Amino acid sequence: MKYSILGLSLMSALTAVAIASTGAIKNVDDEASLIAAFTAANSNSGISTITFKHNATIQLTAPVIYTGTQPLKLVGNKTTIDGSAAGSFTLDGNLTAITSDGTLVFNTSANIDISNLTVANSATRGIVINVPGDADGEDISVNLYKVDILNSALYGLHIDDNADEFDDGTAGSAIGVDLRITRSSFIGNGTGAIDFDGIRVDERDEGDINATIISSQINGNGGDGIELDEAGNGGVYGTMVRVSMNGNGFYNETDLDDGFDIDEADAGGIEFSLVNVTVNDNKDEGLDFDEAGEGTAEVKLRRVSAQNNADEAIKIDEEDEGNIEITLSRVSVTGSGDDGIQFTELGEGKIEGKLIKITTSNNAKYGIKMEQWVFEDEASPAEEAGEVEIKKVILSGNGSGDEIATNNVTLK
């Protein structure tokens, strides 16, 4: 029997939960039973599933922390975990929040699978996954299905493979992060301190970020809706289908934030596809993709609508070796506070691709601006021009006129 190896004191705590012979813990429905379940899983690698009672509400008084090495599945059964008293943070002189707390914390490189669970009102972060610095082997896989993370003071979901307390520098583990999110929502997070996002992935050293997000809402977060932050060897790859990223980035009035922010540095590129996505009313850019170092930014947008974003709606910046490669079709951009669509390519490399069935209207500056430089603002082109195919592209009412603005890019 699995429980025969558990200590007596733990056994008494486990009276409210049942451990089946299959390695599952069932009927979690309050703080004591949740702590008991995590404590059991931390000491017994045979425990692979923790199942909650249907529709329970669990009030936590402290973070609940997983430290096991086995893959763990949480079956939420529509339970809500209220983290309003689960931990705290302090503000330093720069108004940066400092804490290691979260409502649910996983200190592991094992795969984490969570379904049908709500984490609400977290005093710090909602769900936190800390990848140990010495992790190696397979990438960690984080799979969320019908998970709602609502109204966290700091990050909603934070996957942290960055050894630095403030997520600076390039020290992290040798593995990457595979994130899959389906039918989930991240709403109203990041309203307790500056620069906290609905979803934040920090990946450093070796390894990629792979993100697949399907049928989900990432709305009304104080920092970015979602930020994927990768440095060191490796890139950012992924797909979003049927996702909204609306009304994010309002918390820090002196440095507003985006709907979807990708920062990729060092070797490795960005390859991201968005299909049936809305990016409206964000307080900085809608989509803000930055690629630096060796590597290309390859972005495919299909049926994307971006309205009333305070800065550019769709912005891609690429530096150093590598290209901007774009395929945009059925994209509509209106009411941006800067250019509607802005692509800037620097260093060695080109802008290449297609714009098909695009409308861009009533943006404060250009509807579309595409600039290819070796060094920004060089007097004359120092390399072969890029080429972008234009088909059924309509610009109207843009503040800087309704021609596509270019530098060293040929439209055909």
**Residue 11 three-state SS:** helix
Residue 46 and residue 24 in contact, taking contact as beta carbons nearer than 8 Å: no
Residue 207 near Ca ion by CB under 5 A: yes
Interactions with Ca ion, residue window 213-272 (CB under 5 A) = 234, 266, 268
CB of 316 to Ca ion, least distance (A): 11
In whole angstroms, what separates CA 13 from the centre of its chain? 36
Residues 339-378 that bind Ca ion (CB under 5 A): 347, 349
Which lies closer to Ca ion via its Cβ, residue 150 or residue 316? 316
Residue 320 binds Ca ion (CB under 5 A): yes
Q: Considering the rule CB under 5 A, would residue 312 count as an interface residue with Ca ion?
A: no
Smallest gap from residue 381 Cβ to Ca ion (A): 14
Minimum CB distance to Ca ion, residue 133 (Å): 9
Select from 154-162, 306-314, 379-387, 395-403 the region that touches Ca ion (CB under 5 A): 154-162
Q: How far is residue 412's CA from residue 393's CA, in Å, rounded to a whole number?
A: 12
Q: How many residues make up the chain in this entry? A: 412
- Residue 255 vs residues 283, 285, 307, 365: alpha-carbon distances, Å: 9, 11, 20, 21
Segment interacting with Ca ion, rule: CB under 5 A, options 57-65, 76-84, 85-93, 312-320: 312-320
Contact between 386 and Ca ion (CB under 5 A)?
no
Answer for which of 148, 205, 263, 312 binds Ca ion (CB under 5 A) is: 205
The DSSP letter of residue 53 is P
Contact 113, 88 (CB under 8 A): no
The CA–CA distances, whole Å, from 177 to 117, 201, 227 equal 21, 8, 14
Q: Which is nearer to Ca ion, 15 or 69 (CB)?
A: 69
Q: How far apart are the first and last CA of the chain?
A: 71
Instruction: Work out whether 288 is an interface residue with Ca ion (CB under 5 A).
Output: no
- Which range touches Ca ion (CB under 5 A), out of 69-77, 113-121, 155-163, 242-250? 155-163
Residue 217 token pair: 């809402």
Q: Which residues contact 165 (CB under 8 A, 6 or more apart)?
A: 98
- Contact residues toward Ca ion (CB under 5 A) are 161, 172-173, 205, 207, 234, 266, 268, 295, 320, 322, 347, 349
